[in-house]
Amino acid sequence: MTNNPTPSVAAGAMMLELVMLPVADIDRSIAFYRDQAGFAVDVDVAPTEGVRIVQLTPPGSYCSVTMTTGMADAAMPPGSLRGLHLVVADIEAARDALVARGVDVAPVQDMGGVLYAWFADPDGNTWTLQHMPWRA
């Protein structure tokens, strides 16, 4: 029996595990998410001619993002995704790590006890680092 790191799905649960990420250039986006944002590349396949599917997962996350080409049903304008949240235990350390890898991350802001810092990928899809002190 293998050790499955993902939680089981309870009756009635609806677990978000994959978000479509609209990008113009998959290879450029892989470089950004893998090398700068620190995501793991889980899947990079071309199941048929003209189709490519890439799935990446942020460190410690159960939810991944996927980028595709050649799949009309999944097409969205590059850069149209807004405000995906990456919840972190230490926002300053998370921000510093991204900045050290070349990501342009806005300064941390306190919004009523919840801390935020924003950044965008090369296409303009936006991400939010979020720290809720009571969850640390």
Give percent above pLDDT 90 in the chain.
83
Distance CA 126, CA 119 (A): 6
Q: Is residue 135 classed exposed, middle or buried when 0-12, 13-18 and 19+ CB atoms within 10 A define those classes?
A: exposed
Architecture of domain 18-70+78-135: Roll (3.10)
Q: What is the pLDDT of residue 23?
A: 97
pLDDT at 1: 43
**pTM for the predicted model, two decimal places:** 0.89
Contact between 44 and 31 under an 8 Å Cβ cutoff? The reply is: no
Tokens of 116: 């935020």
Residues 6+ apart with CB under 8 A from 86: 58, 61, 94, 127, 128, 129, 130
pLDDT tens-place string over residues 2-45: 455 666 888 888 888 999 999 999 999 999 999 999 999 999 99
Contact 94, 4 (CB under 8 A): no
Domain boundaries, the chain: 18-70+78-135
Residue 74 has pLDDT above 90, yes or no: no
